Amino acid sequence: MRLPGIASEFAVACDWIIQRAGLYWQEVHVLSEMNKTIACSIEKAERELGYCPRIGLEEGMRRSIRWCVDRGFLP
């Protein structure tokens, strides 16, 4: 489903209100991030901790989606 960016901005305000009430509504929180880039680098973990992922990002995403489908979280 495609939504205009304003839907995400509206969700930001709703998420703020909901969280100030001490609650968490996952769908609203996720919608509030849909027009944002929230990716990050693992370079520091690789450099400072010697982290070396055994599974690449693409395969990891594939497995995550399969896990969700298998449990009925996604159609």
Phi, psi at residue 24, to the nearest 5°? -140, 125
* 1 pLDDT more than 70: no
Is pTM, for the whole model, over 0.75? Answer: no
pLDDT digit string (tens) for 19-50? 999 999 999 999 998 888 878 899 999 999 99
Q: Report the chain's terminal Cα–Cα distance, integer Å.
A: 14
Rounded CA-CA distance 41/27 in Å is 25
* 57 pLDDT more than 80: yes
Instruction: Please report the pLDDT score of residue 17 as a whole number.
Output: 97
